[in-house]
Structure 1
C-alpha cells in the first residue's frame, strides 16, 4: 500500500508553528498559576524539562508523519562550532571593554560555585530555549521554507516567524525585544545555512543565552558596574554582528583546501 502523500509545506509550517506556540503558552500559563510572576528557580527547572519533553516529540512526530523524513541526528562537533561562533567574539568584546576601562566585573562567591552555576544554567538554557526553539525554527520550519523559496529568503522568513512567536508568547513585548528576536534569528538562520545543520545554531543559542543570563541579577554570580553595556554590547551586539563570520572562518579551517 502506498504511503500517504505529505502535506504541502505551508500546511506543515502552520501546524508545527501553531503547536509550538500553544505548548509554550500552556507551560507559561501553568507556571504563572503555580509560581506567580517573577523569576523562580524551581519554575525555570520545571518549565525547561516540560518544554523539551513536549516540543521534541512533537517535532519528531511531525518529521515522521507530515514530512516522512527522519529527524537530524545530534552533532557534538557542530554544536561546539556554533558555541565557538558566539564565545570567540563575546570574549573579544568583554576583553576590549575591560581593557578600555568601560567595564569592571567581580565575582560573587567562590569560583567553583560560579562554574557550577554556569553549567547548571547552560543545561536549563539547552532544555528551555536552545534545543526546542532551534528544532522548531532553524530545524523544521527552515527546512520546509527551503521547499518554497531561496535559502536567503528562508532565513528572513524563519526570522519573521520566530519574532511572531516571541510576540505571541510575550517574550517580545517591546520594540527593542522585537528587534532583538529578529536580529538573533537572522544570525541563527545564516549559521544554519552555512553549516547545513540545526546543531550549530543550538550551540550558538546555548552560549548566547547562558552568557546573557549568568551576567544578570537572577543568578547573582557577578557584580558589574554597567550591566547594560555588558549584556547589550559586549555579550549581545558584538557576537551577533561577528558570529556568522566567525563560523565561516572556523568552517574554512576545518575543511581541506
Structure 2
C-alpha cells in the first residue's frame, strides 16, 4: 500500500523526464525513518483524526445530518493552521506551516481536499482507523520525496517538483480509494444471499 505510490511516482518521473530518480532503499532501515514515522502517527495522524473525524464529527451527528457534520469538521480542520500560525509566531518568533513560513492559499486548498477525502473515508468506511491510516501514509510519504539524500525518492538533475507533488498524493488517494472500494464490494457480496428454491 505504501510502496506502490512511491514506485509509481518514481516511474512516472523517470518516464516523462521530470527528473532523474535515485532510490535510497536503505533509508527505511534507519532509526530516524522509524522515529519520524512514530512522530507523524502519534502527533499528527491519530490526534487530528480523533479530534476532527472522531469527536467533532460524532458530536455534529448528534445535532445535525451527516452532510452538515462533515462540512463542519472539514471547515474546522482547514481553519486550524489559520488559527495556530499567529500563536506560533507569538511563542516562537517563527511560523512553520506545511513547509512554509506562512499559511498560503495553496496550502489551504490542499488541506481542504485532504479533509474532504478524509471525511469521505470516515463516512464510507465507518471507521476512524481508515482515516488514520490514510493521514499517516499521505503526510509521511510526502516527506520522503525530494532532492535530499535523506529522501526515499531522491530527485536529481533538472527537477520539476510541481507535477511530482501531484502524482504521489494522487497515487496515495487512488490506492486508498481502491482498498475502500474492494472492502465495500466484499461486504455487499457477503450480504447478498444466493437464491434458493
TM-score by length of 2: 0.72
Matching residue of 2:26: 112
Aligned counterparts of 1:217 and 1:103: Cα–Cα separation in 2:
10
| 2:64 corresponds to 1:149 | yes
**5+ unaligned residues in a row in structure 2: which ranges?**
86-96, 190-197
**1:131 corresponds to which residue?**
46
1:199 to 122, 125, 129: 129
Identify the residue that residue 187 of structure 2 maps to in structure 1.
255
Aligned residue pairs total 169
Q: Kindly indicate whether the alpha-carbon contact (under 8 Å) linking 2:27 and 2:150 is maintained by their aligned counterparts in 1.
A: no
SS of aligned partner of 2:154:
strand
For residues 58-92 of structure 1, give each alpha carbon's deviation from its aligned partner in whole angstroms, at most 9, with x where no partner exists. xxxxxxxxxxxxxxxxxxxxxxxxxx4x7656654
Shift of 1:128: 1.8
Between the aligned partners of 2:68 and 2:6, the Cα distance in structure 1 is 28
Q: Indicate the residue corresponding to 2:169 in structure 1.
A: 236
Confirm or deny: 8 A CA contact 1:191 1:200 kept in the other structure.
yes
Gaps of at least 5 residues in structure 1 are 1-83
Residues in 1 aligned to 2:23 and 2:172: alpha-carbon distance in whole angstroms? 22
Matched residue of 2:22: which SS? strand
Question: How high is the TM-score relative to the length of structure 1?
Answer: 0.57
> RMSD over aligned Cα, in angstroms?
2.7
Secondary structure of the structure 2 residue equivalent to 1:105: strand
Larger RCO (CA within 8 A; separation ≥ 6): 2
Structure 1 CA distance for aligned equivalents of residues 36 and 84 of structure 2: 22
Secondary structure of the corresponding residue to residue 62 of structure 2: coil
Distance 1:144 1:90 in 2: 37
- Please give the alpha-carbon distance, in whole angstroms, between the structure 1 residues aligned to 2:73 and 2:139: 19
State the SS of the aligned residue for 1:101. coil
Q: What is the DSSP-based 3-state SS (H/G/I as helix, E as strand, rest coil) of the residue aligned with 2:143?
A: helix
Deviates more, 1:184-193 or 1:247-256: 247-256
1:190 to 2:120 alignment: yes
Q: 1:219 to 1:210 in 2, by over 3 A?
A: farther
1:102 is aligned, of 15, 18, 27, to 18
Cα deviation per residue 1:8-34 (whole Å; 9 max; x = unaligned)?
A: xxxxxxxxxxxxxxxxxxxxxxxxxxx
